[in-house]
Amino acid sequence: MTGKIGFAHWLAFLLPTGLLAGAYGSQYIGGLYPCEMCWWQRYPHFEAAALATLAFFVANPVYRRALVALAALGILSSGLIGGFHAGVEYQWWEGLTACTSTISGSGDALLKSIMNAPLIRCDTAPWTLFGISLAGYNFLLSTGGAIAILLSIWRSKTP
Residue 83: per-residue pLDDT: 92
In whole angstroms, how far apart are CA 152 and each of 10, 51, 68, 78, 135? 11, 17, 11, 19, 25
Taking only the tens place, the pLDDT of each residue in 96-117 is 765 555 556 677 777 776 666 6
Domain that holds residue 37: 4-96+124-155
Helices (H) and strands (E) in the chain, counts: 5, 4
**Cα(25)–Cα(17) distance, integer angstroms:** 12
Q: Has residue 103 been placed in a domain?
A: no
Residue 110 lies in a domain: no
Is residue 101, in this structure, part of any structural domain at all?
no
- Residue 82 sits in a domain whose CATH number is 1.20.1550
Q: What is the DSSP letter of 133?
A: E
**Rounded to whole angstroms, how far apart are CA atoms 48 and 76?**
10
For residue 58, being part of any structural domain is answered with yes
pLDDT range class, residue 1, cuts 50, 70, 90: very low
pLDDT at 126 over 80: no
Residue 105: the pLDDT is 67
Rounded mean pLDDT of 1-13?
77
Pairing of strands 128-129, 119-120: unpaired
pLDDT, position 116? 67
Q: How confident is the model at residue 2 (pLDDT cuts 50, 70, 90)?
A: very low
pTM of the full predicted structure?
A: 0.78
Q: Judge whether 109 lies within some domain.
A: no
Q: Does 111 map to a domain?
A: no
In percent, how much of the chain has pLDDT > 70?
A: 81
- Distance CA(142)–CA(80), nearest Å, equals 8
Could you report the per-residue pLDDT of 63-89, keeping only the tens digit for each? 999 999 999 999 999 999 999 988 888
Q: What is the reported pLDDT for 109? A: 75
Q: Is residue 62 part of a domain?
A: yes
Residue 67 lies in a domain: yes
Split into its structural domains, the chain has a count of 1
